[in-house]
Amino acid sequence: MVMNVEIISKEIIKPSSPTPHHLKNFRLSFLDQIAPPFYTAIIFFYDSNQDGLNGDQFERSSSLKKSLAETLTRFYPLAGTLMCEDFSIICNDKGADYIQARAPCKLSEVVEKPSEKVLIPLLPFDPYSNFTEVGTKVLLAVQYNNFDCGGVAVGVIFSHRIVDGTSVAAFVNAWAGTSRGATEIINPSFDTAVHFPPREIPGFMMMAQTNTKEKIVTRRFVFDKSSIDSLKNEASVAFGPEDRAPSRVEVVSTFIWRRFIAIARANPAKKTKIFGAVHAVNLRERMVPKLPAHSIGNLWSVALTASPVEVEKDYPSLLRQVRNAIMEVNGDYVKKLQDGQLDFMKKASEKQTKGEIEFCNFTSWCRFPVYEADFGWGKPTWVCSPSRPCKNVVVMMSTKDGDGIETWVNMKEEDMAMFEHDPELLSFASAAAGE
Angle at 109 between CA 374 and CA 173, to 5 degrees: 15
Instruction: Please report, for residues 226, 315, 429, the alpha-carbon distance to residue 230 in angstroms, rounded to integers and kept in the order given.
Output: 6, 12, 11
**CA dist., res. 248 & res. 285, Å (int):** 18
**CA dist., res. 381 & res. 371, Å (int):** 8
Q: Is residue 339 among the annotated active site residues?
A: no
Strand segments, DSSP code E, in 319-404 are 357-364, 382-384, 393-398
φ, ψ for residue 395, nearest 5 deg: -105, 130
Three-state DSSP class for 278? strand
Strand segments, DSSP code E, in 170-215 are none
Residue of 47, 93, 374, 415 marked active site = 374
**CA dist., res. 328 & res. 283, Å (int):** 12
φ, ψ for residue 195, nearest 5 deg: -85, -30
Strand segments, DSSP code E, in 224-336 are 274-282, 300-308
**CA dist., res. 409 & res. 387, Å (int):** 8
Residue of 47, 93, 97, 160 marked active site = 160
Cβ atoms of 387 and 117 closer than 8 Å = no
Q: Is residue 279 among the annotated active site residues?
A: no
Strand 357-364 to strand 274-282: parallel, antiparallel, or no bridges (unpaired)?
Answer: parallel
Q: Which residues are catalytic?
A: 160, 374
